[in-house]
Structure 1
């Protein structure tokens, strides 16, 4: 398949590298130093067992000389999705599948501006990765990638599943992929969001009684909003899963925590903000999530003001 991965960060780098094993892959990023390093030395994936391998996908900072692809995978931060796709519309033809595995929910609304819903692919992955250099990525752990089309169909996605699986990215389809997206969101909108506000690792959320009480409230509201959206989850089970994540990775630094610490914009609008938008749509109160979204935006504003005054 002809595949372009937009956004060559940790996850984009991992998928771009693996998919290049059996496909014509281009990784696309605006960071010229990263693209130059990949062109020169390859895209290095450091595996959990300590081994590493350099892969050599095509690499570019723009798509001026490129035409429609079979598959375009969006791995930029959600706040940049629309602008990235607007600038790379020449990659998207009538038969192009446009896919996202980004954190949070609601991404199909933006992708559907650039492709019909039958060609918009949404999903989740259990892989995790972290950037270790301009052209290197540490593969933290493996798992399954599950995808579905925005229109609910899955049969036509078999070539994408095969492309992923044949390259070491175990994949499958689910006609109810939205439920999987909801299932993954609970930790992000509770414990992860709080790590950003408190600037403390995941372990703090489970250890501190007041932080854990806030976490419980956020999980409860998210479960209620999910139910109003048509997806029933057991509150006690979801809370136990969130606590397990915190206790299993007590020193874990979440992406939203790191973004706030570095003065970067976060993806809160497609994570906690997704719960808020669904709550408004279905008339369910979610005041704690509204507070979290406003708090995190205020912290972003604080960082911008601090930088401007220094």
Structure 2
């Protein structure tokens, strides 16, 4: 697991619990030390388990592996896979489960396109303390696919490994459609939650925010249609409603959580992906361009004047 934050530990911990040989790699030294000293503590609602799994703060000295799962922040993707060169062998697969679009192209440039798989997951994770996360995986689907849509033996091997761990994984012949489905969920609320600082219980009460969200998603649907991407729905409200399904009123998108920590967001890989694909397809995306500009403005303000 290249990136062992909340989601990386959620998936990596479950794989380890299911019998897979897992290595967690993360730069947060206190987190790595806690996992190695006491195991990875995983909370599942009212229950809790401790999973023994090896953790490191870099890939230096590690041997090649069968699969690298990339779950670092989007802006760190290239540096992370460059640092993972010691793990690459002729048989190694590299798979992103990050939010947004564009990571697979970065991974392909470094590792080779023939090594890359793509995936999207609805599994969740919350970081509670170094060495301790909460995992939400029951009933949450993960879709994994080859970039060209083929059903291959190596793809089935990865899917089987996930299912063995209790992760609901499906081999997809339409992984780009699946990635766009998840992208549009993030387009619906990610930037608007970050800009307004409103958690879901308040975000969904503002009619003007809903209208902006539907407009942003409509642009994404138009871009996907122009690129012959098969979506689960072409109704913007479907993605707006899906974004909040089963989530508490206090839920905050990862983009807002990044701003609250004073970190760079993943807006370039979410709303920015709609803008880039739109520019290539000659589809106007003014709402998403505006959302990208506003989030980047907040990032710049915080980096220049401090988090407020």
Check if 1:114 corresponds to 2:110.
yes
Question: Aligned with 1:266: secondary structure?
Answer: coil
Give how far 1:206 is off.
Answer: 2.6
Give how far 1:263 is off.
Answer: 1.4
Structure 1 runs (4+) greater than 6 angstroms displaced = none
Give how far 1:244 is off.
Answer: 5.1
Is the contact between residue 186 and residue 243 of structure 2 (CA under 8 Å) also seen in structure 1? no
Aligned residue-pair number: 303
From 174, 187, 197, the counterpart of 1:199: 197
Check if 1:24 corresponds to 2:21.
yes
1:260-299 counterparts in 2 under 5 A?
Answer: 260-299=259-298
Give how far 1:246 is off.
Answer: 3.6
Question: Aligned with 1:222: secondary structure?
Answer: helix
From 131, 139, 151, the counterpart of 1:154: 151
Map Cα deviations across residues 123-149 of structure 1 (whole Å, 9 max, x no partner). 111211111111111113431211011
TM-score, normalization by structure 2: 0.93
Question: Aligned with 1:227: secondary structure?
Answer: helix
Give how far 1:279 is off.
Answer: 0.4
For 1:244 and 1:69, locate their aligned partners in 2 and report how far apart those are by CA, in whole Å: 36
Is the contact between residue 67 and residue 93 of structure 2 (CA under 8 Å) also seen in structure 1? yes
Give how far 1:164 is off.
Answer: 1.1
Is the contact between residue 13 and residue 53 of structure 2 (CA under 8 Å) also seen in structure 1? yes
Map Cα deviations across residues 126-182 of structure 1 (whole Å, 9 max, x no partner). 211111111111113431211011232222211111111111112121111110111
Map Cα deviations across residues 56-98 of structure 1 (whole Å, 9 max, x no partner). 1111112221121100000111110100111121111111000
For 1:137 and 1:149, locate their aligned partners in 2 and report how far apart those are by CA, in whole Å: 30
Q: 1:248 to 1:204 in 2, by over 3 A?
A: farther
Is the contact between residue 117 and residue 149 of structure 1 (CA under 8 Å) also seen in structure 2? no
Aligned-CA RMSD value: 1.7
Map Cα deviations across residues 178-219 of structure 1 (whole Å, 9 max, x no partner). 101111111211222100011111233331122122112111
- Where in structure 1 are there 5+ consecutive unaligned residues? none
1:89-238 counterparts in 2 under 5 A?
Answer: 89-142=85-138, 143-156=140-153, 157-231=155-229, 233=231, 234-236=233-235, 238=236
For 1:204 and 1:82, locate their aligned partners in 2 and report how far apart those are by CA, in whole Å: 36
